[in-house]
Amino acid sequence: MVVYPNPQPHADNFAFRGLGKEEWLCQIISQAVADGKQVGINHFDATARDRAFYRIGELRQMQDRPSSVVVRRTVFGQYTFSETVGIWLQSGRNSAALLLSPFLDTEGFTFDAAEYLDLKDRLQLAARKYSAASDSAQGLGNLNTGFFRHQSAAEAATFIQQQVAAFIASGEALQQDYLTAINRHAREGSFAAREAIRQNAAELSAFSAQLTQATQLEGRKRKRFLNDWLQQLQAYQSAASRSPSAAPKGKDIRSYRVLLDPEWQAHNATIDQLDRHLRETAIALSPETVSRDVAVSENLRHLAQRLEDFLRSLDEVGLYQLPLSTSSAATTPRQLGILERVVEQLRTTRTHLPKFPAFYERQTFWYAQPARLRRILAPLLELPQEQWEPAFTAWYFERCLDRETQPQAGQSEDPKANAIIPGEVFDLNEHPERPADLRVDFTGSATPAPDQYCAFPLSEVTAPHVSIAGSPSATLFFVQPYYHHLAPQWQTGAATETDVLVIAIDGRVATLSGDLNVKGSSLEITLPNNFSPDERDWFLRNWEQLFTDRNGITLYHDWSDAMVTSALLSDGLSADFLAAILIRAASAAMATPFDSAEMAAIGNELWRRLSIPLPDPHPLTEAIARYLRRRDFPDFVAAHEPWRDTFLPLVITSKTSGRKTVYLPDGQLPGGAAAGARREMLATVGYEIVNLDAYQIWRSPDAELKRLFGV
């Protein structure tokens, strides 16, 4: 079983609850041991130790996977990469998505939910402020003097108002087309450049790996291998327009490995200059620089012609004293600069009467905003206000994803040189004075110290809840969301002549001080009509072990329906309420067919009182489902469908054949259980499985959605 946090705990969480708490703590231990730390465990046992070291192997496999498909790696707050792509997709296909430059400075951004909501609220407030306060004009001296000589004030004002409004509308439309063309070219160039960097790093890593393999060769075989390796390196250098390396004087592997150092340096220099190169390419954008792409080149020429026609028409109308069509530019960004200045001049004219109080209020509001908001708001002021929010949202999550996929600098090194020596796990009870980098308490009986992890009972609602995934046990419904497909082996019987709580495991009576932690066993419980204070306290402490992971439960009681109903309607988490839960669940299990709806209702009430969160829908599949419904997709679309102990992110059911297809973001079902086992379970019951590649959806949403769904 693999556990998953719901939601993901923060770094300052030290106490966990739920059936997966011990497994989750074992993952924390394995991470610490893999990092070379000393881990002290209270209530140490061999099972916990073995689970911890088993997780080390899984952890190392996860670290070797690309960042875009590591399920637990968070990108935006507590959201993973694919979930963040789903949030981005809601605005990433909007017509305003590319109106903000990708080169805006992101220094100071934390990229979490609190920051996003704060900036969004401030942006909405800014929109209201700027719509209520008109701009203060710098002067009207640039207007055509003919208005003042030959026309009345009313006539001139009417003419100016009509012409300025018309030219602003056409100018803003042209400006948005320029922004979209420039930023789209910059985005595509960024993806292409990073792909080339990744391919180059793979080639250099292959050269290094070949040298590592050569250490196993001797004599002539090694010499011949190194000669061939050197020829391949020289061919690589020639293809990169660099001087081929000469054969080293030394014939050992280290001498040949040194030849890779300049190549890694050149590779890292390319990464360091990537942003500068992309900026220079964007600045130099013109129809000539993209002549190989006929469609882009023609689009840029068309934009230039539209700009020329726009300026000539404005001069012919005679709004301004001096002509505006005398300026020209060879590159598209410079053309956009000319257009922006003209549109700004038109807007200044529109606000021809200065209003100092409103201007003052606006400026005060401007400087009260955080610097990072002002960097975003400045270009947004050039856009219609209805496009502010979609443009900001798309830009924000685009930068969040872009930060996560930045190429990493590589280097030539011996893989054994920086190997981390694994740490150790020891028993704190046997070595209380031994220093430990990490302390873990599995007893759950004490409040954790600031540096100590603990396993808490379910009733501690302040601790993050950790579930398990992949278990078919029907008793899971007590402590986490679970949807039954098999009847649990529970039954009820008449109470024996006793007025005390009696617990029997596999036929053996257990005292209230005995060990109940025997999983998978058959349990018999005799419930008294009235709990004694000691029985009540014991039942509240141990109900989690009684209720879960049992092969069979038999209840003996003499409770009336009125007693059960009264206990269920009581407040809080009491022994009477838990006993009533057991009685109702056993009755539902004995029904023919068993009453799964009743069991689900019982589970819902228990989760509510324990503050156990339900898994949230996956943002990526939610966004795709909305996209398909808007397109009148011909088949049935369902998102976040309950299935056994998890939810299916997206299910498409064919209206003609009835075939069901499950779409899994990055190939993973919610819950983080072993992907192969969960996919096999789906395939066994007839589901067809399709992987949703979040990276490709982010890179080319229209093309990827078209490929996946045909719409």
The pLDDT confidence band at residue 272, using thresholds 50, 70 and 90, is very high
Give the range among 111-115, 263-267, 497-501 with minimum mean pLDDT: 497-501
**Pure H helices in 548-693:** 561-568, 575-590, 596-610, 619-630, 675-684
3-state secondary structure 160-182: HHHHHHHHHHHHHHHHHHHHHHH
Q: What element of type H or E holds 652?
A: strand 646-653
Q: Residues with Cβ < 8 Å from 370, sequence gap 6 or more? A: 108, 119, 122
Of 620 and 153, the structure prediction assigns the larger pLDDT to 620
Amino acid in the structure at residue 37:
K
How far separated are the first and last CA of the chain, in Å rounded? 38
Q: Distances in Å between the alpha carbon of 403 and those of 104, 240, 442, 462?
A: 13, 28, 38, 32
Of the candidates 318, 405, 350, the one whose C-alpha atom is nearest the C-alpha of residue 137 is 350
The pLDDT confidence band at residue 511, using thresholds 50, 70 and 90, is low
Q: Residues with Cβ < 8 Å from 85, sequence gap 6 or more? A: 401, 619, 620, 694, 695, 697, 698
Q: Distances in Å between the alpha carbon of 278 and those of 194, 224, 622?
A: 11, 42, 34
Give the range among 1-10, 61-70, 492-501, 701-710 with minimum mean pLDDT: 61-70
DSSP conformation class of 660: E
Give the range among 86-90, 122-126, 477-481 with minimum mean pLDDT: 477-481
Strand 2-6 to 688-692 pairing: unpaired
The pLDDT confidence band at residue 65, using thresholds 50, 70 and 90, is very low
What local confidence, expressed as pLDDT, does residue 703 receive? 93
CB-based burial of residue 605 (10 Å sphere; 0-12 exposed, 13-18 middle, 19+ buried)?
middle
Give the span between the Cα atoms of 699 and 94, in whole angstroms: 15
Q: What share of the chain is helix, strand, coil (3-state, %, to 5)?
A: 50, 10, 35
DSSP for 268-328? Answer: HHHHHTHHHHHHHHHHT--TTTTTTSHHHHHHHHHHHHHHHHHHHHHHHHT-BSS-STT--
Q: Residue 318 pairs with which residues in a beta bridge? A: none
Query: Token match 């054969």: residue?
Result: 247
| pLDDT tens-digit series, residues 404-451 | 888 877 766 655 555 567 778 888 778 888 888 888 887 766 566 666
Query: Residue 181 CB: number of other CB atoms within 10 A?
Result: 19
Measured over all CA atoms, what is the biggest interatomic distance in the chain, rounded to whole angstroms?
Answer: 113
Q: Is the preceding omega at residue 450 within 30 degrees of 0, hence cis?
A: no
Give the span between the Cα atoms of 591 and 594, in whole angstroms: 4
Max mean pLDDT among 319-333, 539-553, 616-630 falls in 616-630
pLDDT above 80 for 507: no
What local confidence, expressed as pLDDT, does residue 651 receive? 96
Q: Which residues of 124-157 are buried (b: 16+ CB within 10 A; e: fewer)?
A: eebbeebeebebbbeeeeebbeebeeeeeeeebe
The pLDDT confidence band at residue 598, using thresholds 50, 70 and 90, is confident
Mean pLDDT of 255-281: 91
Q: What is the pTM of this model?
A: 0.72
Strand, coil or helix: 357: helix
Tokens of residue 580, six digits? 């009533």
Query: Token match 């900026």: residue?
Result: 279
Of the candidates 650, 626, 648, the one whose C-alpha atom is nearest the C-alpha of residue 638 is 650
Q: Tell me what the pLDDT averaged over the chain comes to.
A: 82
What local confidence, expressed as pLDDT, does residue 53 receive? 58
pLDDT above 60 for 5: no
Q: Distances in Å between the alpha carbon of 11 and those of 8, 310, 403, 473?
A: 9, 57, 21, 31
DSSP conformation class of 454: E
Q: What element of type H or E holds 388?
A: helix 388-404
The pLDDT confidence band at residue 702, using thresholds 50, 70 and 90, is very high
Give the span between the Cα atoms of 519 and 553, in whole angstroms: 12
Of the candidates 253, 256, 239, the one whose C-alpha atom is nearest the C-alpha of residue 199 is 239
The pLDDT confidence band at residue 273, using thresholds 50, 70 and 90, is very high
Mean pLDDT of 505-511: 68
Domains of the chain plus CATH, in order, are 19-133+387-457 (no CATH), 137-353 (no CATH), 474-610 (no CATH), 619-709 (3.40.960)
pLDDT over 70 percentage in the chain: 85
**CA torsion, points 89, 9, 607, 47, in degrees to nearest 10?**
120
Give the range among 143-152, 154-163, 266-275, 319-328 with minimum mean pLDDT: 143-152
Tokens of residue 596, six digits? 């799964």
Give the span between the Cα atoms of 323 and 321, in whole angstroms: 7
Query: Residue 118 CB: number of other CB atoms within 10 A?
Result: 13
What local confidence, expressed as pLDDT, does residue 132 receive? 64
Give the span between the Cα atoms of 50 and 57, in whole angstroms: 12
Give the span between the Cα atoms of 548 and 553, in whole angstroms: 10
Of the candidates 673, 676, 675, the one whose C-alpha atom is nearest the C-alpha of residue 4 is 673
Q: Which residues of 86-110 are buried (b: 16+ CB within 10 A; e: fewer)?
A: bbbbbbbeeebbbbbebeeebeebe
pLDDT over 90 percentage in the chain: 32
